């Protein structure tokens, strides 16, 4: 039994839930279209380039949570999950998760996208353990701030290490699946790093290190890297 860790956006789902949530807010008329659409696109571009200012982005992305009441937010989120996210679930991802589950591995998703957006998505895959950036929630409302450290780049490593100290798990024979070069700090820490539909930077690094490179965008679940 091992720890099997999965990134979420562009790994287990075929797009980026953080960016899509922002676009959903625009499409629903919940935020100002011109400003929010441009800012959302810029932050996403910064993320892909590896130059995202995570604190600045979280100030932007968590503000709609603070500007609206929880009841409306949960209603909008359900519509977002049903109409935007469900079509992006990947059958090969479900099969890969199933293989790890059958082995008795501990399943975890670790993502920079905040817990409000990602918790219901991770539940769709039947995974109970989620490490994510956590929005502050006080007296029944989101504050627009976040608790602890952002679950991003080195922050993913730090949050995982803190979790390991409180659990019986170790990184012995651990796995981490990710599409993004932003996840190199954690990919380098596990025993079995796997690049999944990787960006160009991660693809080059994975090839140089002889890491497995797989795709979950096809109907056939890859298994050549998966050892009993």
Query: Which are the catalytic amino acids?
Result: 7, 9
d(Cα 206, Cα 95) in Å, to the nearest integer? 23
104-107-111 Cα angle (round to 5): 170
* Count of C-beta atoms within a 10 Å radius of residue 49: 12
Contact call for residues 51 and 153 (beta carbons, < 8 A) = no
Are 194 and 176 in contact by the 8 Å Cβ rule? The answer is yes
């Amino acid at each position: 039994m091992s720890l099997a860790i999965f990134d979420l956006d562009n790994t287990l789902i075929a797009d980026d839930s953080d960016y899509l949530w922002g676009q959903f807010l625009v499409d629903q008329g919940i935020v100002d279209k011109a400003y929010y659409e441009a800012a959302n696109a810029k932050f996403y571009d910064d993320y892909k380039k590896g130059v995202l200012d995570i604190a600045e982005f979280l100030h932007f992305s968590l503000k709609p949570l603070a500007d609206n009441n929880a009841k409306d937010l949960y209603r909008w989120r359900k519509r977002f999950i049903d109409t935007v996210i469900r079509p992006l679930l990947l059958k090969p991802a479900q099969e890969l998760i199933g293989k790890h589950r059958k082995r008795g591995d501990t399943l975890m998703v670790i993502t920079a996208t905040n817990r409000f957006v990602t918790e219901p998505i991770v539940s769709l895959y039947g995974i109970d353990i989620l490490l994510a950036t956590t929005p502050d929630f006080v007296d029944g409302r989101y504050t627009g701030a976040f608790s602890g450290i952002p679950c991003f780049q080195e922050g993913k490593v730090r949050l995982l290490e803190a979790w390991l100290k409180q659990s019986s798990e170790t990184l012995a024979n651990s796995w981490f699946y990710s599409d993004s070069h932003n996840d190199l700090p954690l990919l380098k820490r596990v025993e079995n790093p796997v690049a999944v539909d990787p960006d160009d930077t991660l693809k080059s690094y994975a090839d140089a290190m002889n890491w497995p490179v797989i795709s979950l965008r096809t109907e056939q679940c890859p298994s050549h890297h998966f050892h009993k």
